[in-house]
Amino acid sequence: MLCGGPPGGPGRGQAGRCPGKGGVCVRKVRRLLFNRITITGALILIQLAWLLAAFTELAYLSPWIGAGLSAMSLLVVLYIVRKDDNPAYKIGWIILILLIPLLGALLYLCFGNKRPARGMRRRFRRAQALTRPVLGQNPAAAAGLAGRPLATARYVARYGPWPVWRNTDVTYYPVGEAMFADMMAALESARHYILLEYFIVHQGSYMWESMLAVLKRKAAQGVEVRMMYDDLGSVAILPGDYWLQMEQAGIKCMAFNPFVPVMSLVMNNRDHRKILVVDGHTAFNGGINLADEYINRIHPHGHWKDTGLRLVGEGVWNFTVMFLETWNAFRPTETDLAAFRPAAHHPAPFTGTGYVQPFGDTPLDDEPLSENVYNEILAQALDYVYICTPYLSISNEMQAALCTAAKRGVDVRIITPGIPDKKIVYRLTRSYYPPLLQAGVKIFEYTPGFIHAKSYVSDDRLAVVGTINMDFRSLYLHFECGTLLYGCRAVADVKADFLDTQAKCRTVRLSDCRTGFFGGLWNAVLRVLAPLL
């Protein structure tokens, strides 16, 4: 019985139709069983099971083979120990390898190294030969920026390398539906090109289909439209040939890092960015993907609280280059980027308050740029740091930065979801509460629903809004992006929105975090596995 009705009742004998729901249960089950992610996951589990069985059998048949596999695991553990890597990430893998020495080393070789595969690194190096020379810092653009914010901007410009800009108007959006309205208006205004790069694109959703109608019309009018989506991010909601459907509609399209049912290191590295650029002078960034929950047309986890920015001006250049670098890594197209400059299709001068510094972070290097930016904000704060994050799975370094800031008298507040999207990750998030609360960090949970916003704001002068979660995947494995704001009027908007959101939250107290002995053990297991989730 698929619908749970009584034998011979209305739930049977009617093509599996669910009474009172109007849906077809059999069709839902088929979609669940035969979609790409279910099939791919099943194939990977079969590979893991086969490898474990094969290695166990080999070890049983030959003590020498078993000893060799154990020796390989020991060598891999020693290799992990000597690596200049995050301790929490290393501990998780070391424990896994020691628990299953016959297979653990192979799992690490397939999934453990955070850097992308050699082929992907080679492609990006080729693309960076074109993009990196155009990212030099213009000294005039940074003129007037001083103190610790200047030091932060210099760090991001040197190790990003993403320059800081003036003459950029910034609009802050406290909810996705407000940003969506302006995204649609920007698409309608496009005359030359549109660039889209998103982690999730949901076919059939109101949000995406509304945008797609405009994109098709613009492409037919001669506007160049390029689109990238992460194949794993959209694996359950887009067909495998969606990129081809877009090409046939006149939209140049690429599925980033196609997800295949093979155990592979490269599957770890996803494009988690959310970027829309129109004609080089207008860009949108934030946590908002192209699906209906992000604009609250559906409510799978209560009210979906997300945030974003619109930039108009010189600072858009960073996002344009960010997109083109990834595009040209896999579809080499440009030899000259001059036509993409912000002023190329905007003859009027740009205006704006303060400074902006859009930046991208990648697993291509060993520089944890996003984590360092977050830690920089905590280190230089004098009055307050307010943080919104959907997930809290942090390294010892970031936990120490949060606790140290609170201990020296900085008002550190964090808002996390009240209704989780993933229960196991929600429990993991809550496992980090006790040491933070004991240090004086204030934690709030958003009772109306799910917080998907990723933002920091500090001392009325500095803020970050972007795609970067406070978890190991965002900080170490994914391609991410965000916008640093220095002295912009929008900084006050980020702060005001935080305080308004906090008023809708419940305050978390240390007594709320009691889990008992076995609950504490389960939390410890999750903490060990956190870098692997």
Give the chain's mean pLDDT: 87
Identity at 129, one-letter amino acid code: A
pLDDT in tens, 180-233: 999 999 999 999 999 999 999 999 999 999 999 999 999 999 999 999 999 989
pLDDT at 27: 55
Q: How far apart are CA 387 and CA 394, in angstroms?
A: 14
Tell me the domain boundaries of the chain: 36-112, 118-355, 369-532
Would you say 307 and 174 are in contact if contact means Cβ atoms under 8 Å apart?
yes
129 pLDDT higher than 90: yes
Taking the C-alpha atoms of residue 323 and residue 326, their distance in angstroms, rounded to an integer, is 5
Model pTM score:
0.87
User: Do the domains spanning 118-355 and 369-532 agree at the CATH topology level?
Assistant: yes
pLDDT digits (tens, 9 = 90+) for 386-432: 999 999 999 889 999 999 999 999 999 999 999 999 899 999 999 99
The confidence score (pLDDT) of residue 14 equals 36
Contacts of 198 (CB under 8 A, 6+ apart): 228, 229, 230, 233, 273, 274, 275, 289, 290
Instruction: Tell me the per-residue pLDDT of 475-520, one tens digit each, with 9 for 90 and over.
Output: 988 999 999 999 999 999 999 999 999 999 999 999 998 888 888 8
Alpha helices in 287-385 (DSSP H): 316-330, 369-380
Alpha helices in 17-61 (DSSP H): 25-34, 36-61
Tokens of 286: 């934030």
Q: Is the pLDDT of residue 84 over 80?
A: no
Alpha-helical runs (H) found in 83-205: 87-99, 101-107, 118-131, 139-142, 147-159, 176-189
CATH number of the domain located at residue range(s) 118-355 in this protein: 3.30.870.10
CATH superfamily of 369-532: Endonuclease Chain A (3.30.870.10)
